[in-house]
Amino acid sequence: MEVLFVSHKYPPAVGGMEKQSLELVSGMKKHATVHTIVYTGGESRLRFFLSLEKKITETCRKHPGISVIHFNDGLIAAVCLRHKGYAHLLRAVTVHGLDVVFPSTIYQKYILPAFNRFDLIVAVSRATANACIERGINAQKVIVINNGVDTALAETSPSNDFHHFFNKKYGIDLRGKIVLTTLGRPVQRKGFSWFIKEVVPGLKGDFVFLMIGPFHKKRSLSDRLFHCLPQKIRAKAALFLGYPTDENTIRNMLLQDGHDPKVMHLGKLPFDDIERILHAANAFVMPNIRVEGDMEGFGLVCLEAALCGTTVFASEIDGITDAIQHHKNGILLPSKNAAAWVSALNDLIQNPSTYAAQAQDAKTYTLENFGWDKMADAYWKHFKMLRK
């Protein structure tokens, strides 16, 4: 079999979708002859999209053995819906979450229903699959293949000199403290500002909450200009662009008088440092909340934390429930239920050794059920079924 992968989310850009796209292409090479048309930043993104039809037809002409074409997210699939010249190919698309629920009347009424033209629609979680079916996508065409995770993380070990390293590099002494951490862009669905406001004040004991991810410590001019846009336009643009809609709220919380000094934002860090922190942390929190027109398609970072031996506490919503199974590789808590979150985390703060002893079981469960190889094998299985 020869397969053509088309993606505008690909390294050297960094992100969950870029990682998934790379691992899918790499993993499929052990099963099939792989061809790619991917955006790597060498041209403008607009030019890449405008030239896609020509690139695809030329690739198919050059490699007539191609029988399946795969689009790696709903946006690029939508752009290619009206293409001509390769109708003979079986067509598959992976949808991640926002590319299903994006709150645009035109998109929901005219574009998304046209996805029924595809032969296979791969959802990264049950929540994403259900969102597709609720919007009129043929359930017979929708399957769920969870994203993988880099299982090599399970083979790494905690750093013996972590506290010295962290204090020297970041000026924070973590010795004797319970470390809670989180990771991600400050978008509203992540629930970071809610957690700081509603949960942190109820936590007892000697703990510190470390936030990691892109973050501007001062408000930028571009953000001021962005907020001059009409609210309806700004809301849709923020979702489409992944704009940090929670950043200003978090910044104001960290700067206000009376701010809890136990909450710190470290900004964007090298992955080696993130890995060290995950190994040293007592808990990783993912306190997502529901946001109209947005959703968490999966919970890859939860799996990474579990493989590093960190106890995961996550909201029981969206695609997170595909990544975390309650009391198997993490603890699921009701979203926006501050009392439940406070109770669970206070129990960890008071009994850290109990949770640390359970970390190996969580790591083992994650290894047995997730992996990039498992993901690629599942795609291969369904691509083969398409050809029957």
The 10s digit of each residue's pLDDT in 190-213 is 999 999 999 999 999 999 999 999
Same domain for 158 and 136: no
| Residue 41 Cα distances to 9, 10, 48, 79, angstroms | 10, 9, 9, 18
Per-residue tokens: 267? 């900004």
Indicate which CATH number applies to the domain containing 165.
3.40.50.2000
Same domain for 94 and 52: yes
Same domain for 53 and 176: no
Same domain for 213 and 168: yes
List of the chain residues with pLDDT < 70: none
Domain boundaries, position 12: 2-148+371-386
Q: With contact defined as beta carbons under 8 Å apart, do 58 and 6 qualify?
A: no
Same domain for 251 and 105: no
The answer, yes or no, to whether the previous bond of 12 is cis (omega within 30 of 0) is: yes
What is the pLDDT at residue 195?
98
Same domain for 192 and 172: yes
Q: How far apart are CA 16 and CA 300, in angstroms?
A: 7
Same domain for 133 and 218: no
Same domain for 283 and 319: yes
What is the pLDDT at residue 242?
86
Same domain for 220 and 306: yes
What is the pLDDT at residue 15?
80
Per-residue tokens: 84? 């001509």
What is the pLDDT at residue 55?
96
Task: Centre a 10 Å sphere on the Cβ of residue 289 and count the other Cβ atoms it contains.
Answer: 19
What is the pLDDT at residue 13?
84
What is the pLDDT at residue 16?
84
Per-residue tokens: 134? 């609720």
What is the pLDDT at residue 355?
93
Same domain for 299 and 188: yes
Please state the domain count of the chain: 2
SS (H, E, C) 349-383: HHCHHHHHHHHHHHHHHHHHHCCHHHHHHHHHHHH
pTM of full prediction above 0.85 = yes
Same domain for 236 and 96: no
Q: Which amino acid is at 285?
A: V
Q: How far apart are CA 149 and CA 153, in angstroms?
A: 9
E strand or H helix at 20: helix 16-28
Same domain for 379 and 349: no
What is the pLDDT at residue 42?
84
Per-residue tokens: 192? 């970071």
